[in-house]
Amino acid sequence: MYGFADAAYRRPKDDEVPPLQEAAKRREAGQPYEKIIIWMNEEGHRTTLGNEWRPAALASVLDNPAIAGLYEDEKGNLLPSGGPELIPPEQFRKIRKMRRKYQPEADRAPQQEYLLSGEHMVCGLCAHPLGAAPSNAGSRGHRCQPSTSQHPGGCGRVRINADLLETYVAEHVLAELAKPEVSALIEQARDQLLAEAAKLRERADDAKRRQKQLGEDYARPSGMSLQAFKAADKKLSGQANADRARARFLERVKHVPVGSVPDLVRWWKHAPLAAKQGVVVLMLEQIAVYPAASRGSRTVDADRVSLKWRSWDTASSTEAPSV
């Protein structure tokens, strides 16, 4: 979850704690989520998947007791978890109370999991990243959000059912993975992407060091204007956040199994989501989705989905076919 470096909510993620605290402060002061995410996105802060923030995503984070070192028992009581307090518990309770005030009888919907996410999945018409967008009936889906002042760029003309898309992508990925010449290169390809992720993290750390130095330079009589300082600081912060988000995305491949898997289809059915996501990241560089041929169509084929296979620097031997 945003703000933590582990799934147990015990290790805070240093670069994500300050923006989370500022978002909580703004929410406690009564600022709507729509305005808070404008600030977060403009400052270059991104979700753990590297996407721009949306109101529902931020509301979900600020409604999770873990950020205040709490947990919720089966009766709805908030109790100390022993974990770190990214924000004060009293502040969390105030934010929680504000949310319930507007939706007193509403139950939080269960978190829906998606195999495909991130900026590598784009609209085939406008190249804008597709976001998770459940249908009115609650079924999982992806959509190109129409352009607004908060989320500029999308055309809003593409929507697809997540189950159908995931099935289509999985069939093609497993077919490629089953090829002996591809299977033989999996470990090397995985190591390459992890090395790329390590370089991105180094570059992000360097940007943070430069950002710190920039602040020190500005604090001294250097002749730098406030406007120039803010512009440079924002650019460095955005670069560091983008590099870390990209690194986290590539690091999914660490969950890919190394070695021979006798029955890939059986493995896929029972594999944890993180391992499946890792396989998709390892094999595909981009997934482009186009409009359906007719309204309500449930057909997903090569006319609707274009898969761009990742190129590996391994003797240039196994370029997967373009689908």
Task: Say whether pLDDT at 111 is over 50.
Answer: yes
Whole-number mean pLDDT of the chain? Answer: 85
Q: Where are the beta strands (DSSP E) in the chain?
A: 68-72, 78-85, 121-123, 131-132, 141-143, 159-161, 284-289, 305-309
Give the Cα separation of 295 and 159 in Å (integer).
Answer: 10
Of 102, 133, 168, the domain-final residue:
102
The pLDDT tens digits of the residues spanning 122-164 come to: 999 999 999 888 877 778 999 998 887 666 778 989 999 999 9
Give the Cα separation of 51 and 43 in Å (integer).
Answer: 13
Which tokens is 122 given?
A: 């784009």
> Number of folded domains in the chain?
2
The pLDDT tens digits of the residues spanning 245-285 come to: 889 989 989 988 876 667 788 889 888 888 899 999 999 99
The pLDDT tens digits of the residues spanning 188-211 come to: 889 999 999 999 999 999 998 998
Q: What is the CATH number of the domain that holds 67?
A: 3.90.1750.20
Task: Say whether pLDDT at 63 is over 50.
Answer: yes
Dihedral sign from CA coordinates of 276, 262, 192, 323: negative
Of 70, 102, 134, the domain-final residue:
102
The pLDDT tens digits of the residues spanning 204-243 come to: 999 989 988 888 888 887 678 888 888 888 899 889 888 9
30 in the same domain as 80: yes
Task: Say whether pLDDT at 177 is over 60.
Answer: yes
What is the amino acid identity at position 220?
R
61 in the same domain as 139: no
Give the Cα separation of 198 and 61 in Å (integer).
Answer: 27
Give the Cα separation of 10 and 85 in Å (integer).
Answer: 10
Can you give the residue range of the structural domain that contains 172?
Answer: 113-193+244-323
Task: Say whether pLDDT at 39 is over 50.
Answer: yes
The pLDDT tens digits of the residues spanning 281-300 come to: 999 999 999 999 887 777 88
Q: Is residue 198 part of a domain?
A: no
Q: What per-residue confidence (pLDDT) applies to 255?
A: 87
Of 73, 102, 131, the domain-final residue:
102
Structure confidence at residue 107 as a pLDDT band (50, 70, 90)? very low
